């Protein structure tokens, strides 16, 4: 009798019937909602519980439960699962804090070989040491449990995010000094080109070591349109060694004064200084923007500078401030032009092609300008 009374009370309006029909015929809705929509439609049409069971192949307790929820909470309540927690969480806040502490500790500090955790290794360590640490609730913690604890605190112990530490205490002061020099050079360059060159010539100096000499094992294959639209190159190659490019950029006319050597020691750097000394007239001060590489400030270099008093003036870029040196723009242009994909048969050929590429750049010089000087006034 109770079921007959409930069936009489389940009345669907047009909107509810259309909603249930749409869900019951859907190919993308969850299976449980499709089944429940069919139960409610057939029950509202007067079908018996046994008839619904035969047609839909669903157990009677499931049918009764769906109908009871629909009668108590409405159509939406009969379709959806009720969220409930069968019991309170057993993982304490202290246990979660212990997992976070482990995630913030390197595995190598706990006797492992790894530098960072994997989720599996961290979960294994948590289960093994949970009881001795007094956190019995984690004695059977799975990877998913550990992941939920870490994710709630946005921790990613398996990743490393790199940063650049400023190790130069005078970074701001040195940067400002370099930018002041660039601003002065820009003002000089804005004057009439017919004006005699200034008494202070500013050049940007640095080295590009490790330029590889690579030799083809097999010849390159030219494009064969339409089948092959690019050059073909064998994956294998032979290493011939490396060369270093020592270069100075004249910030006034864009000319590049460069040398190519097998190494970049003090003696090679002194050769570049001698080339600069021979290039500019006597009485002119050569202001050199450069970093603190050992060859720039070695005893051998200082001994040479002592023989040319007041000829060279150093302006040092701060540590980790290579981006302040405009010669880096030249090296970038080399890497993107004639050094890109270069293959040679000998290191001598590599040297000649580097020098030829620099001559080509000097044929169309570019006066690099530093355009932002906000840091000077800040």
The residue ranges of the chain whose pLDDT is under 70 are 1-10, 83-89, 192-197, 372-378
Domains and CATH numbers, the chain: 2-79 (no CATH), 93-152 (no CATH), 171-377 (3.30.420.10)
Q: Could you tell me whether strands 237-250 and 200-216 are parallel, antiparallel, or unpaired per DSSP bridges? A: antiparallel
The string of DSSP letters for 106-172 reads: -GGGGT-S-SS--HHHHHHHHHHHTTTTT-GGGTT--HHHHHHHHHHTT--TT----------TTHH
Q: Are 31 and 58 in contact (CB under 8 A)?
A: no
Q: ∠ CA(63), CA(66), CA(67), 5° rounding?
A: 85
Q: Are 119 and 158 in contact (CB under 8 A)?
A: yes
Q: What is the pLDDT of residues 219-253, one digit of tens each?
A: 999 888 888 888 899 999 999 999 999 999 999 99
Q: What is the pLDDT of residues 330-376, one digit of tens each?
A: 999 999 999 999 999 999 999 999 999 999 999 999 988 877 666 45
Burial annotation 240-255 (CB, 10 A radius, 16+ → b, else e):
beebbbbbbbbbeebb
Question: Across the chain, how many H-helices and E-strands are there?
Answer: 15, 5
Q: Are 49 and 63 in contact (CB under 8 A)?
A: yes
Q: Is the pTM of this model over 0.75?
A: no
- Paired tokens of 73: 């909470």
Q: What is the pLDDT of residue 341?
A: 93
φ, ψ of residue 289 to 5 degrees: the values are: -95, 120
Q: What is the pLDDT of residue 103?
A: 95
Q: What is the pLDDT of residue 17?
A: 86
CB atoms within 10 A of CB 160: 8
Please name every residue paired with 244 in a beta bridge, in sequence order, or none if there are none: 261
Q: What is the pLDDT of residue 2?
A: 39
């Amino acid at each position: 009798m109770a079921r007959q009374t409930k069936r009489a009370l389940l009345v669907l309006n047009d909107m509810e019937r259309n909603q249930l029909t749409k869900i019951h015929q859907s190919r993308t809705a969850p299976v449980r909602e499709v089944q429940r929509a069919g139960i409610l439609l057939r029950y509202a049409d007067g079908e018996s519980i046994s008839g619904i069971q035969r047609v839909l192949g669903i157990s009677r307790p499931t049918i009764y439960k769906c109908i009871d929820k629909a009668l108590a909470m409405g159509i939406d309540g009969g379709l959806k699962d009720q969220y409930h927690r069968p019991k309170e969480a057993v993982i304490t806040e202290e246990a979660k804090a212990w997992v976070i502490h482990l995630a913030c500790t390197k595995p190598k500090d706990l006797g492992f070989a790894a530098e960072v955790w994997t989720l599996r290794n961290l979960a294994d360590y948590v289960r093994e040491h949970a009881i001795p640490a007094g956190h019995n609730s984690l004695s059977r913690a799975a990877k998913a449990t550990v992941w939920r604890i870490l994710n709630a605190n946005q921790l990613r112990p398996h990743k490393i995010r790199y940063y650049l530490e400023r190790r130069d205490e005078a970074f701001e002061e040195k940067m400002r000094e370099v930018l002041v020099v660039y601003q002065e050079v820009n003002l000089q360059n804005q004057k009439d080109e017919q004006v005699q060159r200034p008494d202070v010539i500013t050049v940007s100096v640095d080295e590009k070591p490790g330029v590889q000499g690579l030799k083809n094992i097999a010849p390159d294959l030219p494009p064969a349109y339409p089948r092959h639209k690019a050059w073909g190159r064998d994956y294998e190659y032979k290493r011939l060694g490396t060369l270093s490019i020592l270069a100075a950029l004249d910030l006034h006319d864009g000319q590049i004064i460069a040398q190519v050597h097998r190494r970049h020691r003090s003696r090679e750097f002194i050769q570049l200084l001698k080339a600069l000394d021979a290039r500019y007239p006597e009485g002119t001060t050569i202001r050199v923007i450069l970093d603190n590489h050992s060859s720039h400030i070695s005893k051998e270099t200082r001994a040479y500078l002592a023989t040319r008093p007041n000829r060279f003036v150093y302006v040092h870029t701060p540590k980790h401030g290579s981006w302040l040196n405009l010669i880096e723009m030249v090296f970038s242009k080399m890497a993107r032009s004639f050094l890109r994909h270069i293959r040679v048969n000998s290191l001598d050929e590599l040297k000649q092609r580097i020098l030829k590429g620099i001559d080509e750049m000097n044929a169309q010089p570019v006066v690099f300008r530093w355009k932002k000087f906000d840091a000077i006034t800040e």
